Structure 1
Amino acid sequence: MTEAAIEIGSLPVPRHVAVIMDGNGRWAKARFLPRAIGHQRGSEAVREVTRAAADFGVEYLTLYAFSSENWKRPADEVGDLMGLLRIYLRREIGELDANGVCVRMIGNRGRLPRDVLALVDEAEARTRNNRRMTLTLAISYGGQDEIVMAARALAEDAVAGRIRPEQIDAALFASRLETAGIPDPDLVIRTSGEKRLSNFLLWQAAYAEFIFVDTLWPDFGRQELAAALDEYRARDRRFGARPE
């Protein structure tokens, strides 16, 4: 791909891109390196893709950083991932803030180590008023849990008489999700060749376009993102309707 091909900031791009970052472990294994090195290289890819998305005019970027199921991984790997999250938040928040990026987190905050949660809170508070792009980090996140919590909240409101059951529609339900205020993703990208959602944005991705690439996440960068955006723009989004 030529440099000219990736200068797409002035062309139509998806408003919201969500990425399932997959393949850190396989990247490391292929190079006979510890998994921790793969996760470290993956964090570097996060930096490059975040910069590129902002340059290309993406308004919302959501990254699946750590799923609710990832807590089942070996304790040392979970520790490595939490350590990288600490490093990322400390090292990148200054640049993200300077570049007008608003940082948000979705997921179960109660399971995070206290110091990690403090760093997340600090990043959100510091960047709250930024408007160039919203970077949402899905950490300890599970789409099924999110849907259950939204349903429970609506049920509690109905029992308390604050709403009537017949008032519940898709818009009201979406307002109780953690992504309330963020448009649904237009494009979901998954790296590493796997072709599944893995409990990511199950409600929100109902009409998203999907692109699955074989590239492992540590090798996914500016050009790979540009290629995915090019493919997205070539598609015909119908949202269940039929063109005239």
Structure 2
Amino acid sequence: MNRLPRHIAIIMDGNGRWAKEQGQDRLFGHFHGVESVRNIVEGSAELGIEYLTLYAFSTENWDRPEYEVTGLMELLVDTIRKEVPTLNKNNIRLHVIGDMSMLPDSAKNELNEALAETATNTGLNLIMALSYSSRWEITAAIKHMAKDIENGKLHSGDIDQSTLQQYLSTSEFPDPELMIRTSGEYRISNFLLYQLAYAELYFTNTRWPDFRKENLYEAILDFQGRERRFGKTGEQIKQEATTNN
């Protein structure tokens, strides 16, 4: 328990394929994926994980069939409305990253209410990536930086890695240490490209609607079995661990 990742990020993949395997419509998979979200949020809070980021809807997902996008937005609104009391009961604070301007008004309103209602909670920080993509985020950050340079608020010579971090939508959060992707795909899909620089990547064939606390524990155990070197040698890491102990 003393080697838990502070921040876990998850690409929740496989809802559509799970539904097809059940002989059902894709929205059936998304509906059942909500139960997995509920279970993993609960499991993360129980373990004392500080930050959990879920990739719920990418900017590219807007290109999906209209009925699926509409269904997803309705599901999003309905889920948020139902889950806020549970979030408050479990001291979980909700955050959202992404291009909120693209969301329908009903979704924006529910999200803004949920953000306000959970703002004072001090437990798990649940970060929903909605209408999000990393390239969108980095482009927006650079535009913001350029505007501040034009206005004299920022000087190009002062820009370093920490400067860019301050302009990203994740500026309030530490970088993820563990990234999990379900459903057997081995790619990052435009998710937190800058923030995942040193994250441990864990891929599982389990479809998201079947992903439960036990699967989360397996991913964390795998994480704990890895040596995180950050460019150093294994000997240096061991020496530092010995010194710190």
Report whether the alignment pairs 1:136 with 2:116. Answer: no
Aligned counterpart for 1:167 among listed residues 158, 161, 183? 158
Which residue matches 1:87? 78
Q: Which runs of 4+ in 1 moved over 2 A?
A: none
Q: Distance in 1 between matches of 2:223 and 2:79?
A: 29
SS in structure 2 of the partner of residue 39 of structure 1: helix
Which residue matches 1:145? 136
Q: Distance in 1 between matches of 2:106 and 2:36?
A: 24
Q: Distance in 2 between matches of 1:186 and 1:211?
A: 11
Superposed displacement of residue 159, structure 1: 1.8
Q: Distance in 2 between matches of 1:11 and 1:240?
A: 23
Superposed displacement of residue 98, structure 1: 1.1
Counterparts of residues 137-216 of structure 1 (less than 5 Å) = 137-216=128-207
Report whether the alignment pairs 1:222 with 2:213. Answer: yes
Identity %: 44
Superposed displacement of residue 140, structure 1: 0.3
Q: Distance in 2 between matches of 1:88 and 1:64?
A: 16
Which residue matches 1:61? 52
Q: Distance in 2 between matches of 1:11 and 1:175?
A: 29
Q: Distance in 2 between matches of 1:85 and 1:240?
A: 40
Superposed displacement of residue 12, structure 1: 2.1
Structure 2, unpaired ranges of 5+: 237-245
Q: Distance in 2 between matches of 1:49 and 1:190?
A: 13
Q: Distance in 1 between matches of 2:55 and 2:7?
A: 14
Q: Distance in 1 between matches of 2:160 and 2:233?
A: 24
* Count of residue pairs brought into register by the alignment: 235
Q: Distance in 2 between matches of 1:153 and 1:173?
A: 10
Report whether the alignment pairs 1:31 with 2:26. Answer: no
Q: Distance in 2 between matches of 1:196 and 1:216?
A: 15
Name the amino acid aligned to 2:199: A
SS in structure 2 of the partner of residue 40 of structure 1: helix
Superposed displacement of residue 138, structure 1: 0.4
Q: Distance in 2 between matches of 1:79 and 1:156?
A: 35
SS in structure 2 of the partner of residue 71 of structure 1: helix
Which residue matches 2:102? 111
Give the stretch that moved more between structures: 185-194 or 163-172. Answer: 163-172
Superposed displacement of residue 163, structure 1: 1.5
Two-structure CA RMSD over aligned residues (Å): 0.8
Q: Distance in 2 between matches of 1:25 and 1:215?
A: 13
Superposed displacement of residue 217, structure 1: 0.1
What's the CA shift string for 1:132-151, capped at 9, x where partnerless? 11000000001001001111
SS in structure 1 of the partner of residue 175 of structure 2: coil
